[in-house]
Chain A
Amino acid sequence: MVTVYIIIGIVALLLIFFIATYNGLIGLRNQLRNAWAQIDVQLKRRYDLIPNLIETVKGYMKHERETLEAVTKARNLAQSLSSTDVGARSKAEGELSSALARLLAVVENYPDLKANQNFLALQEELTSTENKISFSRQYYNDSVLKLNNKAQMFPSNVVASMTGFKLGEFFEVSVAEEREAPKVSFT
């Protein structure tokens, strides 16, 4: 009789462990999806801001046509890739980031532009959006790390493999230039 109780107890414990682990995994996966949606929101915001920026800057920057065109092109490319997988998309977004950084760097040569209220407001928005993109990417990657750790470490990996849990994919910076880009801060 005692052994029956022990067996029932062990089975119950295993079941509780299984349920708790599975729910934990689901929670992390939802957090991951939410974090991904956050990146999406910020990237869309950037698509919306760029045409405004180009419009404002165009009048002042007669000699920077190439830089401006590079930004517009990178933006359109990134937008057209916005429904593809993580890898292709992060590459396009990385290129857009570095094109924008080049544009904001040449702004330093145009004092008139830096006195323009409209531009200053846009610059603040853009700086902040860039920050938000990197912060949401950071949070997304933290979430991926947490999910992958749980899905690969013993004992929760048993549950993960039984239920066929997919690992998260890191949002990596794949453009060499951005990796070594200096920190530009507008204060």
Chain B
Amino acid sequence: MWEQIRANQVRSVVLTAGMGMLLLLLGYFLGLLFFESSIGGLIIALIIWGIMSLVAYFQGDSILLAVSRARKISRDDHPKLYNVVEEMKIASGLEKMPDIYIIDDPALNAFATGRNSNKTAVAITSGLLAKLNRDELQGVIGHEIAHVKNRDVLLMAMCAVMLGTIVILAWYSTRILFFGSLAGGRRSSGSGGGQGQIIILIAGIGLMILAPIAAQFIYFAISRKREYLADASSALYTRYPEGLASALEKLSASTVQLKSANQATAPMYTVNPFRKEGKPARNLTSTHPPISERIRILRAMSGASMADYNQAYQQAEGKTGVVPASALALDGLAGATALRAPSPETKPVEELPQKVERARETSDLMWRLGNYKTIACDCGTKLRVPPRFKESTVRCPHCGRTNSV
């Protein structure tokens, strides 16, 4: 039953290597284009990638938890959740008990972090915690623990970093190229490259446009594979696929968006946190496979082993080729859709934060990581209070009001 995991791992490694090649190729051509030396471009690409990897490796989990505003809990805060996590820890054979976090958010989702099996965490939104019964909770936590156990967290973090590096490189180089040629001053323009120069230019521009797209596709492909695998592992741990299936059904019925997710952290969640307002999650295919598909595979399992999952998966995939997808969706979910009235807690979803706001959030986060307190004064000024600050009140330097710390 473990062969499936290994085969999947090989495929993930191949895809990841492909992404690495793409990064190097991009660096190589950008180097030729801007410095007339391929090595220079390679070195710059590798340096950016290296720095981002180090940050992701050592700080990734604390950044992720801080971004999602997760609160760490102990056994006494929520004995049931603690027990369920411990049960799944035992079933998966994980060596150390993961830390448990709750995110105060009515949206339904959960994620796991941890670069190795010694320092791991699972986080779940309070909305999901309130909605699931014990068996369903077990399925969801099993899925998250499987992400840790299958090393998905590390893999996805590294892939996200690679994707980010490719996107950054391509974005800045198109800017430089565009504005540089507008101003009419590209350094190499005088030094007579001729035909070769043009070919390199075309290849470089082509790569700049195509590399981010290709990288994104690879990233999604890896991510989807890992989701199916985590579902299969969860079924194997609980020996009860129905638990996860019915939890996923509840998740797909919800239309509340998670406020604190962003594009980079999306693959860490159980279901894709981004979906359009009012649109059920099951219709969206990006980092996650469609939920209806996952539910159908889980329900079609005759046992609880990896082989059973694989068989159900192949059946489901085979069917998709024959019958139109829309008919299948109706066929598989007819009963469920009828039961699913629009969820009463559907709230108007806030617009995704604009770029400026996103930048502010990031800087807030960086301050918070340094234990600075942020106080919003009534006049709209934000005060950053360092951790050494001892007074209980602070005067706003802008309007003079006194704020309590």
Residues of A that sit less than 8 Å from B by CB:
31, 35, 38, 42, 121, 124-125, 127-128, 131-132, 135-136, 138-139, 143, 146, 185-187
Contact = CB atoms under 8 A, between A and B. Distances in A.
A187 B87 contact: no
Contact of B90 (A121, A127, A135, A186): A135
B93 A128 contact: no
B159 to A, nearest CB: 29
Contact of A132 (B80, B87, B133, B135): B87
A185 B93 contact: no
A143 B1 CA distance: 12
A162 B88 CA distance: 37
Given A121-B79, A124-B83, A125-B79, A139 B91 contact: yes
A136 B89 CA distance: 9
A19 B93 CA distance: 25
Nearest to B133: A187
Contacts of B237: 135
B83 A185 contact: no
A139 B133 contact: no
Given A185-B134, A185-B135, A187-B133, A136 B90 contact: yes
A170 B91 CA distance: 16
A35 B93 CA distance: 8
Contacts of A125: 79, 83
B71 interface: no
B239 interface: yes
Contact of B87 (A35, A131, A185, A186): A131
Contacts of B134: 127, 185-187
A135 B237 CA distance: 8
B91 A138 contact: yes
Nearest to B92: A139
16 contacts: A35-B93, A124-B80, A125-B79, A125-B83, A128-B83, A131-B87, A132-B83, A132-B86, A135-B88, A135-B90, A135-B237, A136-B90, A138-B239, A139-B90, A146-B2, A187-B135
Contacts of A138: 91, 239
A38 B97 CA distance: 13
B134 to A, nearest CB: 5
Nearest to A41: B90
Interface of B: 2, 79-80, 83-84, 86-88, 90-93, 133-135, 237, 239
A43 to B, nearest CB: 13
A186 to B, nearest CB: 7
Contacts of A121: 79
Contacts of A187: 133-135
A38 B79 contact: no
Q: Which of B80, B91, B135 has the most CB of A within 10 A?
A: B91
Given A31-B93, A138-B239, A185-B134, A124 B87 contact: no
A12 to B, nearest CB: 26
A128 B135 contact: no
B86 A128 contact: yes
A136 B135 CA distance: 17
Contacts of B83: 124-125, 128, 131-132
Q: Which of A35, A125, A132, A186 has the most CB of B within 10 A?
A: A132
B45 to A, nearest CB: 37
Q: Which of A35, A128, A185 has the most CB of B within 10 A?
A: A128
Contacts of A42: 90
A8 to B, nearest CB: 32
A121 B90 CA distance: 21
A178 to B, nearest CB: 15
Given A31-B93, A138-B239, A128 B133 contact: no
Given A121-B79, A125-B79, A187-B134, A132 B90 contact: yes
B3 to A, nearest CB: 12
A38 B90 contact: yes
Contact of B93 (A127, A132, A139): A139
A35 B95 CA distance: 10
Q: Which of B87, B91, B239 has the most CB of A within 10 A?
A: B87
Contacts of A127: 134
Q: Which of B86, B91, B93 has the most CB of A within 10 A?
A: B93
Q: Which of B90, B133, B135 has the most CB of A within 10 A?
A: B90
Contacts of A185: 133-135
B98 to A, nearest CB: 15
